[in-house]
Amino acid sequence: MNSRRDFLKNLALASAGIALAPSLESFAAAKKDWFDISLAEWSLHKSLFKGDLNNLDFPVLAAKKYGIYGVEYVNQFFKDKANDNNYLTELNMRAKDNGVRNVLIMIDGEGNLGDEDETKRKQAVQNHYKWISAANFLGCHAIRVNAAGKGTPEEVSKRVVESLTALSDIGKKAGISIIVENHGGISSHGDWLANTLKAVGSKYCGSLPDLGNFYEYDRYQGVTDLMPYAHGVSAKTHDFDANGNETQIDYERMLKIVKKAKFKGYVGIEYEGSKLSEEEGIFATKKLLERLRPLI
């Protein structure tokens, strides 16, 4: 009987084939556009928490309703399925049947990678292993993790570097990158996170700059800090003006920063607003990105 590792390896090869053979429309778009648009599952968190949508239907909805062929999963919407081969196989088939690429999984709730307690910190690292395996199974290129912990910035950085190094070593074996989002606390200081990633020094460890998750730190400087390490970009939106521009973020300025860094990959829509419905917000963000993409 094949081991889970052999099974994952074989399925990963098949998944890679899927990723390299998108629809003709997607192939044409990839040739002319400098970034592809993906949909972050968090954009639909209200529907998911209410039970109006389930994780298995997410890639189908992304393709059929929104015309988006890259998806970014959130682990809390299938938190007990990381080791469920049958479930992951079904999710893979749903994506494949609709020409959708599984891009990454956003990981929350598995412990702090910068925890003061060494036992808890090592457990947090181990808790992420199953998601690296699941991401491999799904043909994703990365998992998104958080850099959280208590203490001075220097203390937290030292612990996070240790955890990210361990995860990156596992990720390298599975072909999965470990990417960190500026997700509140010290991680939303672009210089701190960039220096932490530099200290890890692995090509399997990088950033997922969220254009909106900067609070005390200048958002444009933060994205500039993180782009040299970017394996993706999260296009956070909340509200739009009459011209379709995001009211809190200068998207033209942001995308110029992204392109200047010679980024090529997925920019994931992550609508979090309340004035528009989830559907309206996703479409508004997609329209904004599609309008600006050829102009930058």
Residue 143 sits in a domain whose CATH number is: 3.20.20.150
Rounded mean pLDDT of 49-66? 98
Q: Is residue 14 part of a domain?
A: no
Structural domain including 181 reads 33-293
Quick check: 270 pLDDT over 50? yes
Q: Is residue 278 part of a domain?
A: yes
**What pLDDT is stored for residue 23 in this prediction?**
45
Q: Is residue 161 part of a domain?
A: yes
Number of domains in the chain: 1
From CA 249, how far away is CA 201, in angstroms rounded?
30
- Burial status of residue 57 (CB atoms within 10 A of its CB: 0-12, 13-18, 19 or more): middle
Q: Is residue 41 part of a domain?
A: yes
- Burial status of residue 20 (CB atoms within 10 A of its CB: 0-12, 13-18, 19 or more): exposed
Question: Using one digit for the tens of pLDDT, what is the confidence trace for 16-51?
Answer: 443 334 444 444 444 569 999 999 999 999 999 999
Question: Using one digit for the tens of pLDDT, what is the confidence trace for 154-168?
Answer: 999 999 999 999 999
Quick check: 11 pLDDT over 60? no
Q: Is residue 232 part of a domain?
A: yes
Q: Is residue 12 part of a domain?
A: no
Q: Is residue 144 part of a domain?
A: yes
Q: Is residue 157 part of a domain?
A: yes
pLDDT band at residue 152, thresholds of 50, 70 and 90?
A: very high
